[in-house]
Amino acid sequence: SQTIHQWPATLVQPVGSPLSLECTVEGTSNPNLYWYRQAAGRGLQLLFYSVGIGQISSEVPQNLSASRPQDRQFILSSKKLLLSDSGFYLCAWRRGLIGEVNTEAFFGQGTRLTVV
């Protein structure tokens, strides 16, 4: 079966410090990978998605970047965190077969980031 791991679960970082959140998927190959941010416990904002190694699409301009160094690894980064980067970050995956656009996404447990 497929599983998704996301870490750390919680993180407190000072303003101006770097960030690296990691997400890995097991039990599948060539998944589509996504990073979402959830602010104030409500709506989900899509930040980045990737259909393959080294392929990153950004949905909103921001202080963050994403990378996919391996097929099942997705990393969210920042060089200098802002207070506004605080939030709950969720990684997700779904099957990446061409034409299977009706498949659901599966989410990691999330990372609560607090920038102080």
Partner 1 sequence: AQSVAQPEDQVNVAEGNPLTVKCTYSVSGNPYLFWYVQYPNRGLQFLLKYITGDNLVKGSYGFEAEFNKSQTSFHLKKPSALVSDSALYFCAVRDMLTNQAGTALIFGKGTTLSVSS
Binding site for partner 1 (CB under 8 A): 6, 32, 34, 36, 41-44, 46, 49-51, 57, 59, 88, 90, 92, 96-102, 104-110, 112
| Closer Cβ to partner 1, 49 or 86, answer by number | 49
Please, what is the minimum distance in Å from the beta carbon of residue 15 to partner 1? 23
Nearest Cα to Cα of residue 76 among 116, 49, 104? 49
C-alpha to C-alpha distance for 54 and 66, rounded to whole angstroms: 10
C-alpha to C-alpha distance for 12 and 4, rounded to whole angstroms: 23
Count Cα neighbours of 47 within 13 Å in the Cβ-side half-sphere: 24
| Closer Cβ to partner 1, 16 or 36, answer by number | 36
| Closer Cβ to partner 1, 71 or 106, answer by number | 106
